[in-house]
Amino acid sequence: MVKIISAKEAASLIKSGESIMFGGFLAVGSAETIIEELKELGTSDLEMIVIATDYEDKGVGILVSNKQVSSIKTSHIGTNKATQNQMNNNEIKVDLIPQGTLLEQIRSAGAGLGGVLTPTGLGTVVAEGKQVIEVDGKEFLLEKPISADFALIRAKKADKYGNLVYDKTARNSNPIMATAAKITIAEVDEIVEAGEIPAEDVVTPGVFVDYLVLKK
């Protein structure tokens, strides 16, 4: 059953060296209050999984700038010079993964699958060291599941059972990441009584959510 906790309590659950998938894209749909608390706590050596490393001073980029991250699985670092500099100085390990592949790897972890077969990346450096599997005469890359200790996601509204709805393009990776971590914490703008979100409208069922944090 979902528990309502503060952003500070949420950040305190995470220990140095643990892995976190962060919902959000270019700081839209990010759990920004919890990210701020993680910065305050200085939790270090984090393994980050995120679509893009946002900006130096916004979104997950804050944690990169503050040197709290040791490795990143992501599709894009072009908007954050801190990520690029730390990668070039070997301070941070960056795995660049095609965005659609990264999301399917996360989805497959959440769905209990052994990975996905995708044509994306065939004939490129992405395919290096990976198994190529032929299905009905077509080649695919085997991409393995990606899970994490925590998923920090952001939604517009939750009910007290943790059912979530999102706002426009702030939905992005959040519903996928909600499924794929040991513990999922959702930062929301509003928490309402059960029944106030029509069952038909729920995007992420509360079964995936462990903690709710009200955004500051």
Partner 1 sequence: MEVIDKRVVIGKRVAQELKDGDYVNLGIGLPTEVANHIPEGVRVFFQSENGIMGAGPAPTEGAEDENLINAGGGFITAIKGASYFDTCLSFAIIRGGHIDLTVLGALQADQCGKLANWMIPGKMIPGMGGAMDLVTGSRKVIVAMEHCDRRGNSKILDNCSLPLTAKNKVNLIVTERAVIEVTSDGLLLKEVAKGYTVEDVISCTDAKLIISENISYF
Chain contacts with partner 1 (rule: CB under 8 A): 25-26, 28-29, 51-52, 74-79, 84, 87, 96, 98-101, 103-104, 106-107, 118-126, 166-176, 203
Nearer to partner 1 among residue 151 and residue 176 (C-beta): 176
Locate all alpha helices (DSSP H) within 25-131, ordered by sequence. Answer: 32-41, 61-65, 81-88, 99-110
CA–CA separation, 94 vs 60, rounded Å?
14
Nearer to partner 1 among residue 167 and residue 196 (C-beta): 167
- Residue 168 CB, shortest distance to partner 1, in Å, is 5
Nearer to partner 1 among residue 68 and residue 172 (C-beta): 172
- Residue 116 CB, shortest distance to partner 1, in Å, is 10
Nearer to partner 1 among residue 26 and residue 82 (C-beta): 26
CA–CA separation, 94 vs 78, rounded Å?
12
CA–CA separation, 136 vs 57, rounded Å?
48
Nearer to partner 1 among residue 193 and residue 200 (C-beta): 200
- Residue 49 CB, shortest distance to partner 1, in Å, is 13
Nearer to partner 1 among residue 14 and residue 103 (C-beta): 103
Can you read off the two tokens belonging to residue 106? 């996360």
> Considering only CA atoms, which of 125, 124, 118 is closest in space to residue 139?
118
> Considering only CA atoms, which of 3, 44, 47 is closest in space to residue 21?
47
Q: Quick check: 51 and 99 in contact, CB under 8 A?
A: yes
Nearer to partner 1 among residue 76 and residue 160 (C-beta): 76
- Residue 42 CB, shortest distance to partner 1, in Å, is 27
- Residue 107 CB, shortest distance to partner 1, in Å, is 5
Task: Determine the distance from the C-alpha atom of residue 214 to the mean position of all C-alpha atoms in its chain, rounded to a whole number.
Answer: 18
First to last CA, the chain: 23
Q: Quick check: 127 and 107 in contact, CB under 8 A?
A: no
- Residue 128 CB, shortest distance to partner 1, in Å, is 11
- Residue 121 CB, shortest distance to partner 1, in Å, is 6
182 DSSP assignment: E
208 DSSP assignment: G
